[in-house]
Amino acid sequence: MPSFEPVIGLEVHAELATLSKMFCGCPVVDSTNAEPNSSVCEICTGMPGTLPVINQRAVEFALRVALALNCDIAETSVFARKNYFYPDLPKGFQISQYEMPLAQNGWLDFETEDGDRRIRIRRVHLEEDTGKLLHREGYSLVDFNRSGVPLLEIVSEPDMHSTEDVKVFATSLRSLLRYLEVSSADMEKGIVRFEANVSLRSKGSQDLGTRTEVKNLNSFRAMVKALEYEIERQGQILMQGGEVQQETVGWDETRGVTVPQRSKEEAHDYRYFPEPDLPPLQIDPAWVDRIRNELPELPGAKRARFVSKYHLTPYAAALLVEERPVADYFEAAVAHDPGTSPTKIANWLTGEYFGLLNLAGVEIDRSKVSPQSFAELVAMVEREDINATSGKVVLEEIFETGGSPIEIVEARGLAQINDPQAIMDLVNQVLGENPKQVEQYFAGKTTISQWLFGQVMRAAGGRANPALVRANLEQALKNLEESCRSGE
Ligand code: ADP
Ligand code: MG
Ligand code: ZN
């Protein structure tokens, strides 16, 4: 039986967060909640006789992305008309870059569970977004707020071979767009949109099979599920000796299937020609250098630095650097208290703290817990001033109130009991109060020691040093056993 390998390339569209649109002065508004058609003019609605003007900021944003993706920047690029009819496109064409894109031949490196990956980037170009149709019963409405919003298209080479590759590529790219502050890259709101091209080929072959293009992917989860489905579907066809049709398919989330939308259009269907109303875009290399020098530290470099500087695992570092505010928060906490292990700070941050943030739906830069308070909390646990259980209680409280961890530990009497005598007293008290369970323990039911441990912790109001309780409990049981035996 032949074994197949998936081949996947992504086309990504990201709305750029410029103040105004790509070719006119209309403000870019949040098209999910702004009053429909409140940010439109004669240019972005395609009135005859109007002239587009290129938005310099959009070009700058595009260059940031292209440079971060290691692309060659074209000194001259050309806008073209891509002609097609659709009611959300009043001009009858979209201004896009076709034969001479802004940038080509880059790559994005990232790390997956299965190892390092380098995915080549075929091209990065600028275009404009279309309007939005709202379908009602029996009629449709059109909102042109999104018409002419700067759109960046990023096309990868077909270098991905698993849904894991795709997921990590997509999250890394989203992370990059956010680091560069060029787009909110919010997939749920459609600010960033992924289309996946997928085909199968025999393992070991270098040829490309016939592909389908999967659209309508509204989340990373949907993208992975749609690709799994498409890989399975194409595999069935090939296994039965059939041929895959080259076509565009849409992911139907509720039914969990892809449905054919149309046969694949070819470039000549669009009658591309250079936009006669715009001169070729000339880019000054000095400007490119300036933008390159101003790029922030990017996620990949930050991840490597976190591993070498703070001795974090690559996995922990990847979790911390995905969002820049989280990475900044981590470094602020470490800087506040260099005595505390960065690994402990990272564990508390990506464990308990992420849990609270997710539950409350709060971004870390809006949290009431300052990096300083957070570092103090972790330090208290590390010094064994409080145990981990109390640490969680305190974190929950400062998360709600923004108070100081030290004051809360005092006010709530959470300081850990580390005095061996006090702990031994508690152990003896519990053993004395539970003769039946002690008997069961000696009769061979050793799991009862876990229950006894829980009783001691309860008697201590949860504040006892768990390691000391365990050691003392073990010792006390051993003593009891010996005294029983010698008493026989
Ligand atoms: P278009 O969709 O406009 O025809 P391209 O032919 O350049 O554009 O390809 C678009 C995307 O499809 C790219 O990301 C590319 O890597 C990917 N791709 C091209 N051929 C294949 C294939 N045989 N299998 C999987 N992906 C492919
Ligand atoms: Mg395509
Ligand atoms: Zn406009």
Domains delineated in the chain: 4-292 (no CATH), 297-412 (no CATH), 420-487 (1.10.10.410)
DSSP tally for the chain: helices H, then strands E: 16, 16
Does pLDDT of 447 surpass 60?
Answer: yes
Distance separating alpha carbons of residues 54 and 215, to the nearest angstrom: 29
Among 155, 201, 202, 234, name the best residue to mutate to test ligand 1's pocket (greatest count of ligand atoms within 8 A of Cβ): 155
Distance separating alpha carbons of residues 6 and 159, to the nearest angstrom: 10
Average pLDDT of the chain is: 93
Where is mean pLDDT largest: 78-82, 403-407, 434-438, 471-475? 78-82
Q: Give the tokens for residue 165.
A: 């590759």
Q: Comparing 440 with 62, which gets the higher pLDDT? A: 62
Average pLDDT over every residue of 35-50 = 95
CA 197 to ligand 1: nearest atom: 26
> What separation in Å is there between the alpha carbon of 265 and the centre of ligand 3?
29
CA 158 to ligand 1: nearest atom: 16
Average pLDDT over every residue of 210-237 = 95
* pLDDT tier for residue 420 given thresholds of 50, 70 and 90: confident
The number of CA neighbours under 13 Å toward the Cβ of 99 is 11
> What separation in Å is there between the alpha carbon of 77 and the centre of ligand 1?
22
Does pLDDT of 330 surpass 90?
Answer: yes
CA 199 to ligand 1: nearest atom: 24
Average pLDDT over every residue of 318-345 = 94
Residue type, 386: I
Does pLDDT of 284 surpass 90?
Answer: yes
**H or E stretch including 121?**
strand 115-128
Q: What's the pLDDT score for residue 459? A: 85
> Which protein residues touch ligand 1 with a CB less than 6 Å away?
7-11, 155-158, 197-199, 208-209, 211, 213
> What separation in Å is there between the alpha carbon of 404 and the centre of ligand 1?
55
Name beta bridge partners: 259: 250
Helices (H), 12-136: 56-68
Does pLDDT of 285 surpass 90?
Answer: yes
Distance separating alpha carbons of residues 302 and 59, to the nearest angstrom: 26
Cα Rg of the chain, angstroms: 30
**What contacts 24+ positions apart, CB below 8 Å, involve 479-485?**
480/431, 480/438, 480/442, 481/442, 484/442
Residue 157 exposed, middle or buried by CB count within 10 Å (0-12, 13-18, 19+) = middle
> What separation in Å is there between the alpha carbon of 319 and the centre of ligand 1?
30
Average pLDDT over every residue of 281-287 = 97
Q: What's the pLDDT score for residue 2? A: 65
Q: Give the tokens for residue 162.
A: 């698993």
Residue type, 32: T
Does pLDDT of 305 surpass 80?
Answer: yes
Average pLDDT over every residue of 111-119 = 87
